[in-house]
């Protein structure tokens, strides 16, 4: 297949350029790393399972089956009077035509299209706002006009042809979710820079940052939302014109009603960026700022509802997009915002990368993770290795280095053999939104599954068990829900994908963090041990592995106490018992073999000895403290905000929830209202402008503000 020539290009050339070269000239912002090995064929297990439901949605159609009737869109650009971002004025929109079949309006709600002659000069397969035409048919409704997003950003990253596979496998559209709470400018900039610089094509990745309230971190000069917005540019809607919209939050009482603002644009590296200009790429970016209702505007943390609520904003949105369900005003704005900056419908996204706002992702990590997802459709979730960025800050960080290493390369690697990693860390993991079934565009909802979304958005948290699951270990509980809902699918560990994060450097902070982690681990393992459909049989099953992990976690204090007892008795007793000491040394020294196999770095031997010296802390002090504080649901001192003493985790009840404040409609209904409102506004403005021009011309002799 050869690409259409650009206007003005010569048709004669001494040699025919390769597909890769011609596309790279069109896409200079995409780097071409060395391709990964050829993909392995998927197993028969995924093909034998029954189809759940087709994704022939009323929301979108398959873009490769459409072409455009025109080739140029008239888009005027005017300088902004309030900022550096340009203002776009659209004078035309393309019309989509289905070239695969005639669609009836009975089952899909779409207008009927005739099958015209194939247009050989069509542009990118998913660029929805390419040629200039007065009208077009929306891909998700039967409304004619300017399209669901009114216009698509002029500088949107174009979608490559479907046969373009720079890594040797088909590309999958990815949402990179970054949840922020009280992080500062430096931490957020590091995270967003690392995601933007990943070697995955910009046409298939979008950064989505969700700020959990108007929060200012301790020692920070500006709030977290302001810090994030300072890293955006080229806005689709000017920030001063953005309005808050309502949605149903994960909370109790009146706090179930929350409001948030949607900012859509592109990532801005800033004038003082450490990234060289030649490496700065154009990546679409959306920011959701939970600002709260007017009633909580004067409170300390307006809009704050927790990390689980931030994740549910995305998960609920994806579910409603996939099933064409009624959505809130906020979700409608998210839909249109994504369309504006990417040029594709949100139901094109297949996977979600979840990272925290203090995590640095390695450049090839996203590629390795998506490679595993594409090669094996049975994988529903995966995680990479998390390394420590501040290893030498204090003795507290030093004792965590080898603990992080062994938890990934020993625990998660062993669980990955069974395809059942019990904990995908929220700081760096990936979930599949929907899984392909068959070869006829059938999909199975995974992360967007209604059961997963419903259980994860639980509001009634009234027992000790639920509080430990939902208030302290929400990231681990999401992994548990996925395994419980899809026991035959896989959650794996991908060691090639690496990130770095900042760990606590004070023992009090480490104590509060591990209290939450240990208590949530116990309760999540109690949930998983009851799932009978996990892979394997009896002692060779994932259920047995979970049971052993649960028992091992509970008896950690007794185990380390017995170890010291054996050492003391073996030394004191005459004659000295050599065999128990030798066996103990072999057991504690076995991780050195793991270092040789995986890390290939002798420095980790030193970290191993530091870890062995701190075993009483890991196996006695931390578990004992966690069990003693089993009913403590405060978040601790992990991330403090300005003027805050100790954060509390929980769903506070304040007043009654007024559901009348939340408007929920299907996308097509929201879109009809928007277009009708815009049409009335345009008509009113046209009348006023005519009168204004007449007045100015008559008084000032032909002068007009509009000239």
Coil vs helix vs strand at 399: helix
C-alpha 27/C-alpha 20 separation (Å) is: 10
CB count in 10 Å sphere of residue 213: 28
DSSP class per residue in 302-336: TT---HHHHHHHHHHHHHHHHHT--EEHHHHHHHH
Instruction: Quote the mean pLDDT of the chain.
Output: 78
Angle value at C-alpha 452, between 366 and 459, nearest 5 degrees:
115
- pLDDT higher than threshold 90 for residue 363: yes
- What are the pLDDT digits (tens) for 207-233? 999 999 999 988 888 999 999 999 999
Max mean pLDDT range (51-55, 65-69, 426-430)? 426-430
The residue to which tokens 């700022």 are assigned: 289
Residues near 182 by Cβ (< 8 Å), separated by ≥ 6?
A: 215, 216, 217, 218, 220, 224, 639, 640, 641
Residue 473's pLDDT is: 84
Residue 96's pLDDT is: 34
If we measure between CA atoms, which residue out of 193, 259, 263, 189 comes closest to residue 220?
189
- What are the pLDDT digits (tens) for 379-403? 999 999 999 999 999 999 999 999 9
- pLDDT higher than threshold 60 for residue 603: yes
Coil vs helix vs strand at 118: coil
Kindly state the average pLDDT of the residues 186-195. 94
- pLDDT higher than threshold 50 for residue 644: yes
Residue 153's pLDDT is: 80
Residue 698's pLDDT is: 35
- What are the pLDDT digits (tens) for 147-187? 555 578 888 888 898 888 888 888 999 999 999 998 999 99
Q: Residue 174 pairs with which residues in a beta bridge? A: 205, 351
If we measure between CA atoms, which residue out of 76, 111, 75, 118 comes closest to residue 94?
75
Residue 639's pLDDT is: 58
Phi-psi region of 702 (alpha: psi -120 to 50; beta: other; left: phi over 0): left
16 vs 568, more confident: 568
Residue 646's pLDDT is: 58
Share of the chain above pLDDT 90, in %: 51
How many Cα atoms sit within 13 Å of 333 on the Cβ side? Answer: 23
Hey, where are the domains in the chain? 57-145, 170-358, 558-628
Distance of CA 558 to the CA centre of its chain: 40
Q: Comparing 31-35, 499-503, 582-586, which segment has the lowest mean pLDDT?
A: 31-35
The residue to which tokens 């196996």 are assigned: 619
Q: Which long-range contacts (CB under 8 A, 24 or more apart) does 32-38 make?
A: 32/166, 33/166, 33/167, 33/199, 33/364, 33/367, 35/166, 35/167, 35/168, 36/167, 36/168, 36/169, 36/367, 36/368, 36/371, 37/168, 38/168
Residue 42's pLDDT is: 40
Coil vs helix vs strand at 675: helix
Q: Residue 686 pairs with which residues in a beta bridge? A: none
Q: Comparing 161-170, 663-672, 687-696, which segment has the lowest mean pLDDT?
A: 687-696
Assign 645 a pLDDT band (cuts: 50, 70, 90): low
C-alpha 256/C-alpha 305 separation (Å) is: 9
Can you list the alpha helix ranges (DSSP code H) found in 343-431? 365-375, 395-406, 413-417
Residues near 702 by Cβ (< 8 Å), separated by ≥ 6?
A: none
- What are the pLDDT digits (tens) for 437-470? 877 778 999 999 999 999 999 998 889 999 999 9
Q: Residue 653 pairs with which residues in a beta bridge? A: 252
DSSP class per residue in 39-86: PPPPPHHHHHSPP-EE---SS---GGGEEES-S---EEEE--SSSSS-
Cβ pair 250, 306 in contact under 8 A: yes
C-alpha 190/C-alpha 356 separation (Å) is: 11
C-alpha 142/C-alpha 113 separation (Å) is: 11
C-alpha 174/C-alpha 506 separation (Å) is: 36
Pairing of strands 257-267, 232-233: antiparallel
Q: Comparing 123-127, 415-419, 536-540, which segment has the lowest mean pLDDT?
A: 123-127
- pLDDT higher than threshold 70 for residue 650: no
Residues near 90 by Cβ (< 8 Å), separated by ≥ 6?
A: 73, 74, 75, 146, 150, 151
Residues near 480 by Cβ (< 8 Å), separated by ≥ 6?
A: 422, 469, 524, 527, 528
pTM of the model: 0.76
Pairing of strands 96-98, 173-180: unpaired
CB count in 10 Å sphere of residue 76: 11
Q: Which two tokens stand for residue 208?
A: 């989505």
Nearest 10 degrees: CA dihedral of 442, 447, 453, 458? 160
What burial class does residue 349 get, using C-beta atoms within 10 Å of its C-beta: 0-12 exposed, 13-18 middle, 19+ buried? buried
C-alpha 607/C-alpha 63 separation (Å) is: 52
- pLDDT higher than threshold 90 for residue 192: yes
- What are the pLDDT digits (tens) for 484-528? 999 999 999 999 999 999 999 999 999 999 999 999 999 999 999
Angle value at C-alpha 238, between 233 and 243, nearest 5 degrees:
125
Kindly state the average pLDDT of the residues 15-28. 42
């Amino acid at each position: 297949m050869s690409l259409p020539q650009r206007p003005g290009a010569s048709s004669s050339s001494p040699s025919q350029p390769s597909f890769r070269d011609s596309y790279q000239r069109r896409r200079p912002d995409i780097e071409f790393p060395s391709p990964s090995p050829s993909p392995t064929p998927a197993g028969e297990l995924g093909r034998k399972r029954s189809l759940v439901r087709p994704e022939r949605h009323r929301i979108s159609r398959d873009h490769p089956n459409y072409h455009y009737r025109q080739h140029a869109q008239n888009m005027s650009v005017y300088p902004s009077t309030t900022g550096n971002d340009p203002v776009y004025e659209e004078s035309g929109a393309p019309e989509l035509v289905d070239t695969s079949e005639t669609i009836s309006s009975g089952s899909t709600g779409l207008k009927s299209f005739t099958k015209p002659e194939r247009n050989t000069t069509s542009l990118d397969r998913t660029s929805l706002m390419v040629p200039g035409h007065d009208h077009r048919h929306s891909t998700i409704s039967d409304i004619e006009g300017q399209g669901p997003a009114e216009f698509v950003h002029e500088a949107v990253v174009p979608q490559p042809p479907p046969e373009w596979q720079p890594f040797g496998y088909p590309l999958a559209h990815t949402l990179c979710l970054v949840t922020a709470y009280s992080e500062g400018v430096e931490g957020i900039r590091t995270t967003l820079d690392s995601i933007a610089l990943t070697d995955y094509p910009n046409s298939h990745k979008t950064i989505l940052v969700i700020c959990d309230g108007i929060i200012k971190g301790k020692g920070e000069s500006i709030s977290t939302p302001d810090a994030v917005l300072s890293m955006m540019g080229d806005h689709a809607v000017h920030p001063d014109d953005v309005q808050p919209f309502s949605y149903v939050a994960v909370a109790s009482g009146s706090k179930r009603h929350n409001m948030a603002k949607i900012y859509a644009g592109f990532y801005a590296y800033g004038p003082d960026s450490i990234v060289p200009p030649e490496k700065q790429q154009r990546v679409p970016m959306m920011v959701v700022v939970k600002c709260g209702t007017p009633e909580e505007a004067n409170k300390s943390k307006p809009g704050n509802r927790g990390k689980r609520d931030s994740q549910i904003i995305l998960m609920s949105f994806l579910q409603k997009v996939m099933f064409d369900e009624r959505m809130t005003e906020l979700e409608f704005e998210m839909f249109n915002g994504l369309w504006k900056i990417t040029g594709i419908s949100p139901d094109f996204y297949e996977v979600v990368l979840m990272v925290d706002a203090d995590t640095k992702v390695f450049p090839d990590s996203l590629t390795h993770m998506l490679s595993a997802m594409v090669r094996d459709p049975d994988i529903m979730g995966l995680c990479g290795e998390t390394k420590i960025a501040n290893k030498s800050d204090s003795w507290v960080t030093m004792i965590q280095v080898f603990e992080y290493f062994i938890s990934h390369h020993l625990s998660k690697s062993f669980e990955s053999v069974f395809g059942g990693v019990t904990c995908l860390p929220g700081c760096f993991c990936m979930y599949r939104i929907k899984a392909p079934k068959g070869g006829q565009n059938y999909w199975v909802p995974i992360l967007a599954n209604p059961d997963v979304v419903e259980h994860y958005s639980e509001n009634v948290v009234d027992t000790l068990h639920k509080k430990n699951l939902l208030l302290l270990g929400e990231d681990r509980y999401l992994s548990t829900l996925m395994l419980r809902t899809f026991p035959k699918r896989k959650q794996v560990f991908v060691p090639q994908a690496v990130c770095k994060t900042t760990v606590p450097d004070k023992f009090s902070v480490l104590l509060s963090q591990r209290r939450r982690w240990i208590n949530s681990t116990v309760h999540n393992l109690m949930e998983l041990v009851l799932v009978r459909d996990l892979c394997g049989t009896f002692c060779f099953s994932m259920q047995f592995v979970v049971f052993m992990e649960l028992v091992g976690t509970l008896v950690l204090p007794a185990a380390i106490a017995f170890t010291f007892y054996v050492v003391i008795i073996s030394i004191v007793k005459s004659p000295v018992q050599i065999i128990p000491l030798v066996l103990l040394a072999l057991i504690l020294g076995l991780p050195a073999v793991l270092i040789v196999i995986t890390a290939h770095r002798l420095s980790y031997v030193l970290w191993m000895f530091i870890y062995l010296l701190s075993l009483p802390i890991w196996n006695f002090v931390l578990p004992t403290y966690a069990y003693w504080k089993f009913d403590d649901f405060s978040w601790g001192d992990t991330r403090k905000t300005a003027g805050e003493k100790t954060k509390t985790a929980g769903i506070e009840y304040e007043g009654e929830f007024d559901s009348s404040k939340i408007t929920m409609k299907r996308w097509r209904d929201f879109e009809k209202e928007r277009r009708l409102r815009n049409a009335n506004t345009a008509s009113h403005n046209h009348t006023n402008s005519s009168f204004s021009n007449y007045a100015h011309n008559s008084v000032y002799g032909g002068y007009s503000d509009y000239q």
